[in-house]
Amino acid sequence: MSEGTAINDDGAKQAFLFVGNATCLDFVNTELILKGRPVDLLENFGDLVSWLVEAQALDAAEAQKAVRRWGDRPEGNRVFQEGRAFRAVLRAMVERIVNGKPVQPPALDAINKLLQNRVGYSQLIRGRDGFERRFHSGSAEAVHLLVPLAEFASDLLCHYDHALIKRCQNPACILYFYDTTKNHARRWCSMSLCGNRMKVAAHYSRHRAKS
C-alpha cells in the first residue's frame, strides 16, 4: 500500500491511493469519498499523466513530453475524458465481479478497443531479484497513453482470482482491493483510512449499548 502525488481537497493535496493490490483497482480508486463527499482525483489531463507515472505505466520523461505536447490542447482533454469514461466502465465491471455477476460484453469491448492502440517495445532490465522484461509504450498519439489502463484491466480479468476482489466494508467508502492476506479476511481498503475508524465506531456502539 502506498500513496503518490495528488490533487486538492479543500485546498490541500490529496494523495493518489495505491491500496488495491491490483493496478486496475487503483485506477478505479481514483474516485473516493472524503469527509462524506465524493472526490475525483483526476481533474485534468495532467492528473491522468501523473497517475500513470505513479502507477509505473509511464516514465517521467515520457510524462513531461506528453504534457508539453497535449496538455493544453483539445486532444489532451479528449483523451482525459476518454480515460474517465473508461474508468466508469471499469468501476461497473468491478462492481459486477464483487457481486458475483459476469463481466458484460461492453466492458470487454471497451478494453479491447484500447488494446488495439498498443504500440511500443519490450526492454530487458536488471531488477532487484534478477532480470525482468518491461514494456515501454509508445505515445505517438495521446490515446496511446490509455493503453496501459486496458492492460491493467485485462490482467485483472486474466490473472486474478475474482473471488478475492472486494469492496471496503466501510459503508461510506467506495474503494476496492484484491485480498492477498493469508486467510483472505481483509475487510478494509486500509487500516489507516477505514479500519481503525470502523473499529472505533463499533467500540463506541457497543459501549453505548451497555450503558
At 179-188, the pLDDT tens digits run: 999 999 999 9
pLDDT value of position 170: 92
Tell me how far apart the alpha carbons of residues 84 and 43 are, in angstroms, rounded to a whole number. Answer: 9
Tell me how far apart the alpha carbons of residues 189 and 66 are, in angstroms, rounded to a whole number. Answer: 32
Tell me how far apart the alpha carbons of residues 4 and 14 are, in angstroms, rounded to a whole number. Answer: 9
At 53-109, the pLDDT tens digits run: 999 999 899 999 999 999 999 999 999 999 999 999 999 999 999 999 999 999 999
User: Would you give the distance in Å from CA 69 to the centre of its chain?
Assistant: 24
pLDDT value of position 78: 97
Tell me how far apart the alpha carbons of residues 94 and 89 are, in angstroms, rounded to a whole number. Answer: 9
Burial 6-23 (b: 16+ CB within 10 A, else e): bbeeeeeebebbbbbbbb
At 136, is the secondary structure helix, strand, or coil? Answer: strand
Cell of 158: 486474466
Q: Are 79 and 139 in contact (CB under 8 A)?
A: no
State in words which class domain 2-210 has: mainly alpha
- Residue 115, pLDDT > 90, answer yes
pTM given for the model: 0.83
At 141-172, the pLDDT tens digits run: 899 999 999 999 999 999 999 999 999 999 98
Tell me how far apart the alpha carbons of residues 19 and 177 are, in angstroms, rounded to a whole number. Answer: 7
Query: What number of other Cβ atoms are within 10 A of residue 66's Cβ?
Result: 23
List alpha helices for 57-116, DSSP H: 60-70, 74-98, 105-115
- 22 φ, ψ (degrees, to nearest 5): -155, 125
pLDDT value of position 135: 67
